[in-house]
Amino acid sequence: MADNNVMDSLVALCKRRGFVYPASEIYGGINGFWDYGPLGVQLKNNIRDHWWRRMVECPPMGPDGHPLQIVGLDSAIIQNPRTWEASGHVAGFNDPMVDCKECKARFRADQVMWYALTDIEQKSTIAAGLVFASSIVGAESALVPELKRIGRKENIPALKKDPQVVRLSEREAGGLGHFHVEAAGEIVARGRLATPNWDGPGKDEVCCPACGEKGSLTEPRLFNLMYHTYNGPIHDDANKVYLRPETAQGIFLDYKNVLDTMRVKVPFGVAQIGKAFRNEVTPRNFIFRSREFEQMEMEWFCHPDESLKWYEFWKAERMKWWESLGISRGNLRFRDHAADELAHYSKACVDVEYLYPFTAPDYGELEGIAHRGCFDLTQHQQHSGRDLSYFDQDLQVRLQNEGVDKEQIRQRSRYIPNVIEPASGLTRAVLVLLCEAYTPDPERPSKVYMKFHPKFAPVKAAVLPLVAKDGMPEIAEKLYNELRERFVVELDVKQNIGKRYARQDEIGTPFCFTIDGQTKEDGTVTTRYRDTLQQDRIPLENVGRFLEEQMAASE
């Protein structure tokens, strides 16, 4: 079951300790937007810099044992609007949406699901209705309170005994929409979930999942997810432009510029980190699904015949990267997209998923790795009239040496590359590290600590004078000034030492160095380890070297 208590506590900690704030909070906030506080932006930047380092500055080694070619880009947020016509976003970037005429709630039509429940003994329908689900598991979770309501209303004793909805596999039930209901250890009912037929009979019986009003939902209508604005002072359709819903298209627009200026050859990649905007129908789950977010995307351009090889390569590389953040492998998995999930241009797509508290026991999307084929470059070539094909001189020479005839050489050595796209959300990565780090510990004064991998912890160390007298603050400040040249460190002299330790635990600081009375006597400081609470004494002059060694060991 989803653990909402953990998320509530984590969200409260993020606000209290300066990781994430609601945007525009003094005016009541704005749904789907968040501000990253001093510690949140530091955490985000640490993740961003690690991705950039591993992707652009020091890319992975390829299958041939040589480093890959990947260059960076920072394209404009607003592009020529024809970009989004060519990419299909203007015509196809839509979600079906239904509104409740009574409570004004809005839902994605494909996330409102029919359920039908059949009593096993009576072989009759107990109930039929609708639930709103952000996922299949979400539908199961939403069904439980509804089943308890049915049990009271219809006086069905079996459903009063804390019913549990159990999803059945396709093998067990002939379809993933099937489930059964257990109560007191017995199976008492069987059911199924299905997307409603909005034009079919009985639609007036449909109840709003939010307020329960019968027949209050509108017909589904398409809702384009792109934000638009106007370029220049005249607000008309001729000047209409869009905030980008993804960073990828800027890479495709500059693909030819990169080829002409950077001495790269296929296969090569172009990476970008930047803001994207989607007018989500239902932003939810803290910063998991928001309307303004940051992406880390890389487009890998390769020969069509080698695209599947590179698709598998990037699957493995991206999983290794997520593990390098300190994420437990048991909390990560791959999920291949079913045929009906694939974008119309996609040959294959797999998600890296994470076990979020709000999706448990299921997983939720973290990163998509897509085989985009040659769709994007072909579309932009057709819409712009510019030749975006690639002349492969190395392939031409190889074919000549193999004795291939000239016409075949001409046809085969010029092609539009295929694209493999690892695309992840930077802000979603922040959420994953917050979830992964959140560690309850009733024995600590703080009751919880954030177990960040030291490399990504917003603050690497804290320098704490035991008391604000006897020369301790002066020694602490001198040490702080030495360390801050190399590390992100804090100097904290307020409150008693226990409360300062508790705060450092809640913000995830791996090490604390305490200046006390013994420091003046023998020149040593107390070193406190966040995870174990172990305390050792080391020479004051060795603190910098100690911190360097600890950070290097955590790489």
DSSP 318-368: HHHHHHHTT--GGGEEEEEPPTTTS-TT-SEEEEEEE--TTTTTS-EEEEE
- What CATH number is given to the structural domain containing 63? 3.30.930.10
Residue 283 lies in a domain: yes
Got the DSSP string for 465-514? ESSS-TTHHHHHHHHHHHHTTTS-EEE--SS-HHHHHHHHHHHT-SEEEE
Residues 471 and 549 in one domain: yes
Contact 291, 279 (CB under 8 A): yes
- Is 332 a domain residue? no
Classify residue 407: in a domain, yes or no: no
* Residue 545 and residue 423 share a domain: no
Structural domain range at position 497: 449-553
314: in domain: yes
User: Pick from 435, 461, 477: which residue ends a domain?
Assistant: 435
* Residue 258: inside a domain: yes
Q: Are residues 204 and 99 in the same domain?
A: yes
Looking at 192, 222, 252, the residue that finishes a domain is 222
pLDDT tens series, the chain, 555 aa: 556 789 999 999 999 999 999 999 999 999 999 999 999 999 999 999 999 999 999 999 999 999 999 999 999 999 999 999 999 888 766 677 788 888 887 777 766 666 777 777 777 777 666 665 544 445 556 666 666 665 544 545 556 667 776 655 444 434 456 777 777 777 877 777 766 665 554 566 666 767 767 778 787 777 778 999 999 999 998 999 999 999 999 999 999 999 999 999 999 999 999 999 998 877 889 999 999 999 999 999 999 999 999 999 999 999 999 999 999 999 999 999 877 677 766 788 999 999 999 988 889 999 999 999 999 999 999 999 999 999 999 899 999 998 888 888 888 899 999 999 999 999 999 999 999 999 999 999 999 999 999 999 999 999 999 999 999 999 999 999 999 999 999 999 988 999 999 999 999 999 999 999 999 999 999 999 999 999 999 999 999 999 999 999 887
Q: Is 545 exposed, middle or buried, given 0-12, 13-18 or 19+ CB atoms closer than 10 A?
A: exposed
Q: Is residue 379 part of a domain?
A: no
Indicate the pTM of the whole model.
0.81
The domain tally of the chain equals: 3
Cβ within 8 Å of residue 236, ≥6 positions away: 230
Mark residue 470 as left, alpha or beta (left: phi above 0; alpha: psi -120 to 50; beta: remaining): left
